[in-house]
Amino acid sequence: MNRYLLLGMLFLLAACVPKKVEEQPIMENNQRAGDASATVAAASAQAEQDRANASAERGAIQAEALADCAPAVCDAVVRGEIALGMNEVQVLAATRTTGDAWTIRHSGPSLVMVPEDERVVPSDVVGNVAMVQLADNRVSRYGYSEAQGIRLVDEPYDATTEGRAEALAESLTREGDELAARGDLDAALDRYDRVSVLTPGDPMVDYKIAAVLDKALRPYEAMIQYQLFLHRLNLETIEAEGAAAAQLAEAIALAQQRLVILERQAR
């Protein structure tokens, strides 16, 4: 009996032994923690080498790009902006990049340059470049990656400030329409307001703003916008444009109808 009691006590004592951590230390007092100077030195040497190589390559690209370029293209290269009519080397010069930045795909006489890495896209002074298409070694189309999506430039007007504003206004209008359809009237109004800044005097924008305000139960502001819409329209011009203005004519009728209703409610 005593033997069992003793064994039991021993067992209990063994269970009470502290949970000792049996790991060998990897660093102890008086050792050296070292520093990262070797890593920094290696990175420095590598960066210096890369910079020298890239600088030489960029210099050669710039020289070749500016050697025999049309004045407008030369101006664009110096400004750092892609332009229609540039060749491949001039695109590299305008974006201050080398061939490493691009994946170049050939397809017959056509060539498409897209960023090598989508996480770090090349850019010119206008913005991040999504793609450049060349036909017969001349830029025929290029696109910028912008907040509203890809903006394409395939004619000289698209590259102007007005052209850019127009493209931006179009994408914002599309976004506003989607938001209005989803019932997010405040966000839709915000997009249409931005469009009205980019393309002032567009009666269809005024109409959309009026309609959204009307739906958002803001009658007084809606009335002003409907009136502005009607004021801006030259009905005779619209009639002269015939079928092309059918959509506007319908909007006019709706605006007039809403004005009558809103004015009655206001009384």
Partner 1 sequence: MMKSRPLTSTAAILVVALLMASCSNKQVSRIEPDTVTDLSGQWNDTDSRLVANALIEQSLTDPWLGRYSNANGGNPPTVIVGQFRNRSTEHIPVSTFVNDLENAYINSGAVTVVAGDAQREQIRDERDDQQDNARADTRAGLGQELGANYVLQGELNSMQDEEETTRFGATRKEQIVFYQVDARLVDLESNAVVWAGQHKIKKYIERKPFGL
* Contact residues: partner 1, CB under 8 A: 18-21, 23, 25, 27-36, 39-44, 46-48, 50-51, 53-55, 57-58, 95-98, 100-101, 115-117, 119-122, 128
Q: Smallest distance from the beta carbon of 8 to partner 1, in angstroms?
A: 20
Return d(Cα 103, Cα 80) in angstroms, integer: 20
Q: Smallest distance from the beta carbon of 119 to partner 1, in angstroms?
A: 6
Minimum CB distance to partner 1 smaller for 95 or for 196: 95
Cα dihedral sign for 33, 34, 39, 40?
positive
Q: Smallest distance from the beta carbon of 260 to partner 1, in angstroms?
A: 49
Return d(Cα 82, Cα 176) in angstroms, integer: 30
Return d(Cα 243, Cα 252) in angstroms, integer: 14
Minimum CB distance to partner 1 smaller for 31 or for 107: 31
Return d(Cα 259, Cα 256) in angstroms, integer: 5
Minimum CB distance to partner 1 smaller for 38 or for 217: 38
- For the chain, what is the radius of gyration of the CA atoms? 34
**Hey, what's the torsion of the CAs at 224, 227, 232, 233, to 10 degrees?**
150
CA distances from 51 to 57, 98, 100, 135 (A): 10, 12, 13, 32
Minimum CB distance to partner 1 smaller for 117 or for 162: 117
Minimum CB distance to partner 1 smaller for 62 or for 225: 62
Cα dihedral sign for 178, 182, 187, 190?
positive
Minimum CB distance to partner 1 smaller for 128 or for 171: 128
Return d(Cα 255, Cα 250) in angstroms, integer: 9
Minimum CB distance to partner 1 smaller for 121 or for 132: 121
Pairing, β 110-115 against β 102-107:
antiparallel
Q: Smallest distance from the beta carbon of 117 to partner 1, in angstroms?
A: 5
Q: Smallest distance from the beta carbon of 21 to partner 1, in angstroms?
A: 5
Identify residue 161 by its one-letter amino acid code: T
By the 10 Å C-beta count (0-12 exposed, 13-18 middle, 19+ buried), 94 is classed as buried
Identify residue 26 by its one-letter amino acid code: I
Q: Smallest distance from the beta carbon of 76 to partner 1, in angstroms?
A: 17
Contact 253, 260 (CB under 8 A): no
Q: Smallest distance from the beta carbon of 238 to partner 1, in angstroms?
A: 43
